[in-house]
Amino acid sequence: MALKDIQNDVEKWTSQWKPQYWQPHEILARLTEEVGELAREVNHIWGPKKKKSTEETNELSQEMADVLFTICCLANSQKIDLDTAWKKMIQKYEERDKNRYEKK
């Protein structure tokens, strides 16, 4: 699936609700909530309680998809093309981070 496709999935899915997109601060709060759920999974799998299992890695990937979904909501609501943003960022990383970490 392309970034455009997942943005389209979100556009289509949200088109049934009213309003289609929440306000930016509301979407951000939802993002904070989703990242919090991802954090809980990380602690479950690699944290002090360490009860790793296939089921939990599955949960982890679902929390990551939820974060993606929320990012797409914010992007769509602001007519931001993530594809363009991604290419710009990769280019920026290549210039800015060139000598940042230890090379192999």
**Interface with a copy of itself (CB under 8 A):** 1-3, 5-6, 9, 13, 16-19, 22-26, 28-40, 42-43, 45-49, 57, 60-62, 64-69, 71, 74-75, 78, 80-90, 92-94, 101-104
Report the distance separating Cα 83 and Cα 8, nearest Å.
12
Exposed/middle/buried for residue 11 (C-beta within 10 Å: 0-12, 13-18, 19+):
middle
Nearest-approach distance from CB 98 to a copy of itself, in angstroms: 9
Nearest-approach distance from CB 62 to a copy of itself, in angstroms: 6
Angle at 14 between CA 3 and CA 81, to 5 degrees: 30
* 19 preceded by a cis bond (ω within 30 of 0): yes
Closer to a copy of itself by CB, 49 or 55: give it. Answer: 49
Nearest-approach distance from CB 40 to a copy of itself, in angstroms: 5
Closer to a copy of itself by CB, 43 or 53: give it. Answer: 43
Closer to a copy of itself by CB, 53 or 93: give it. Answer: 93
Report the distance separating Cα 21 and Cα 99, nearest Å.
40
Structure tokens at 79: 């007519």
